[in-house]
């Protein structure tokens, strides 16, 4: 496995959260959240190592230096080698996590582009055979006439709303909007293509994207 390889598809909100964690909190944590295990472990290890080295430098160099304020001992010469090493390790971890974060955004953009292409190609109403084949590939979605629907269950209301907001983002990009019913931790989505008078590839493409968001 390559250090920068992604495990499965990633949504734009998840890529954004991982990048914020990587760049503004602790390098490597966001990578681990996004499934980049090798990169995440490496980045986290470097950042922790750099922090420990700087902490040790502070104890060894700065504490004796400040103690001179209360004694008549000769002036203590501060060495900066450990500080440079620790800072360099942390900087390397941050730069590595930056590269990973950029790759996550590229992966998310690729997923969105593939989805949009599917939407653009899916304008024709599907015949019964194609509908049954599509439903077999997505067994969590149930058909009711010319509509497919699925209920998603989450841990709580904030988690449900986070999912709804993510669905709204991809639906707006595709200009294909599901009917949404929210009941605390339960979200039911219903899909059909009104312009085509029934189910099209657009509906099943969006359903696949919603399934991926729920897993992410």
Question: What domain range includes position 177?
Answer: 122-215
Pick from 47, 80, 108: which residue ends a domain?
A: 108
| Within-domain flag for 3 | no
Pick from 108, 143, 163: which residue ends a domain?
A: 108
The reply to whether 103 and 176 lie within a common domain is no
Tokens of 192: 């059909």
The reply to whether 73 and 127 lie within a common domain is no
| Within-domain flag for 127 | yes
pTM given for the model? 0.47
The reply to whether 67 and 150 lie within a common domain is no
Give per-residue pLDDT as tens, 96-120: 999 988 888 777 766 555 555 555 5
| Within-domain flag for 1 | no
Nearest to 92 by CA among 56, 36, 47: 47
Pick from 79, 108, 137: which residue ends a domain?
A: 108
The reply to whether 162 and 202 lie within a common domain is yes
The reply to whether 129 and 174 lie within a common domain is yes
CATH code of residue 155: 3.30.1360.20
Give per-residue pLDDT as tens, 161-185: 999 999 998 888 878 889 999 999 9
30-52 b/e (C-beta count within 10 Å ≥ 16 → b): bbbebbbeebbebbbebbbbbbe
The reply to whether 133 and 194 lie within a common domain is yes
The reply to whether 81 and 19 lie within a common domain is yes
The reply to whether 99 and 159 lie within a common domain is no
| Within-domain flag for 29 | yes
How does the average pLDDT of the chain come out, rounded? 83
Give the Cα-Cα-Cα angle 136, 13, 200 (nearest 5 degrees).
Answer: 30
Q: What percentage of the chain has pLDDT greater than the value 90?
A: 43
The reply to whether 82 and 145 lie within a common domain is no
Span 85-105, average pLDDT: 90
The reply to whether 22 and 100 lie within a common domain is yes
The reply to whether 77 and 130 lie within a common domain is no
Number of compact structural domains in the chain: 2
The reply to whether 163 and 131 lie within a common domain is yes
Decide if pLDDT at 30 tops 80.
yes
| Within-domain flag for 6 | no
């Amino acid at each position: 496995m390559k250090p920068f390889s992604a495990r499965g598809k990633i949504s734009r909100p998840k890529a954004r959260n991982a990048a914020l964690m990587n760049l503004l909190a602790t390098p490597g944590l966001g990578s681990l959240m996004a499934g980049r295990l090798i990169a995440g472990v490496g980045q986290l290890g470097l950042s922790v190592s750099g922090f420990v080295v700087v902490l040790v430098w502070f104890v060894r160099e700065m504490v004796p230096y400040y103690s001179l304020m209360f004694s008549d001992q000769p002036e203590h010469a501060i060495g900066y080698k450990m500080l440079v090493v620790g800072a360099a390790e942390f900087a390397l971890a941050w730069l590595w996590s930056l590269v990973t974060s950029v790759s996550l955004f590229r992966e998310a953009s690729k997923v969105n582009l593939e989805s949009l292409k599917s939407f653009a190609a899916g304008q024709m109403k599907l015949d019964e055979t194609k509908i049954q084949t599509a439903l077999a590939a997505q067994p969590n979605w149930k058909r009711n006439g010319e509509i497919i629907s699925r209920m998603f269950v989450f841990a709580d209301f904030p988690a449900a709303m986070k999912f709804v907001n993510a669905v709204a983002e991809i639906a707006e990009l595709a200009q294909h909007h599901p009917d949404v019913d929210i009941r605390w931790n339960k979200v039911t989505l219903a899909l059909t293509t009104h312009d085509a008078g029934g189910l099209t590839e657009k509906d099943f493409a969006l359903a696949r994207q919603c399934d991926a968001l729920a897993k992410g």
